Copies of this chain bind each other. A is one copy, B any other.
Amino acid sequence: MEAILEELEQASELENMQGISEALRDVFKVDHLVYHWVSSNGEQYGCGTYDPEWVQHYLDKDYLRVDPVVVGCYQRFHPVDWKRLDWSSKAARAFQADAIANGVGNQGYSVPIRGPNGQFALFTVSHNCDDATWARFTESNRRDLILIAHYFNQKALDFEPERAPEPAQPLSPREVDAMTLLAIGYSRAQVADTLSISEHTLRVYIEAARFKLGAMNTTHAVARALSRGLIVV
């Protein structure tokens, strides 16, 4: 375990990650171990031990928007056992059946991870076993899993710095104010009034923010500011 952690910390090439995933899977004696980057611009990257066919199928079906693991972890900080997620919707059940049919285990444990600019990723281990066995496994390995998740994400960020969409030009304080107030529903007039500036001036901020965020309109700018964590509502 120690050795693998060390290797993971020191990994200096992306290609190693796949191998490390497999090594870790064997160390933990689980069926699958996956790191999955869910970048805010829709791009995805992953490495792990899932069947490539399943991965492609996942992408084709746009399961990202259905997968209860993703939607559930998106609002969560704690690592979570799949059993505690909401599988009640019809789409979720269909997804679950499809996943199990494709070799994904009936048990799973996922660690959400977040980086700068709203980057979001998941680290998951999955296995086929009964609840008690799985509970023992997660109980005794949760700390290592958190650390591994951390290191995987660290590597992903190291190797793909350009993957972070435009390198997040920081918004000026006024621009942050403007975006924040727009995000809580104020109209331009209200925002200008709240900030005690003319609506014309406000417009300059909104345009500047739009430009910095590479957004095509105000709504887009607010959405980006939000998903990059530049503003909080």
A contact residues vs B (CB 8 Å cutoff):
5, 38-42, 64-65, 70-71, 74-78, 114-120, 143, 146-147, 150, 153-154, 157, 164, 168, 173, 176, 180, 182-187, 215-220, 222-224, 226-233
Residues on B with C-beta less than 8 A from A228 are: 75, 118
Q: Can you list 13 A-B pairs with a CB-CB distance of less than 8 A? A: A40-B232, A42-B184, A70-B232, A75-B116, A77-B119, A118-B226, A118-B229, A119-B232, A120-B229, A185-B217, A186-B216, A219-B219, A219-B222
Check A185 against B219 for contact (C-beta < 8 Å): yes
A63 CB to closest chain B CB, in angstroms?
12
A232-B38, A232-B40 are known contacts. Are A77 and B227 too (CB-CB below 8 A)?
no
Check B183 against A71 for contact (C-beta < 8 Å): no
Check A71 against B229 for contact (C-beta < 8 Å): yes
Residues on B with C-beta less than 8 A from A75 are: 116-117, 164, 168, 228-229
Check A233 against B114 for contact (C-beta < 8 Å): no
Q: How far is the CA of A233 from the CA of B41 in the complex (A)?
A: 6
Q: How far is the CA of A217 from the CA of B147 in the complex (A)?
A: 40
Check B183 against A74 for contact (C-beta < 8 Å): no
Cross-interface CB contact of A76 among B74, B116, B147, B227, cutoff 8 Å: B116
Q: A118-B231, A223-B226 are in contact. List 19 more A-B contacts (CB 8 A).
A: A38-B232, A41-B231, A41-B232, A41-B233, A74-B116, A76-B116, A77-B154, A114-B229, A117-B233, A118-B228, A118-B232, A182-B223, A183-B223, A185-B216, A185-B220, A186-B216, A187-B216, A224-B233, A227-B233
A116-B77, A117-B232, A229-B120 are known contacts. Are A219 and B183 too (CB-CB below 8 A)?
yes
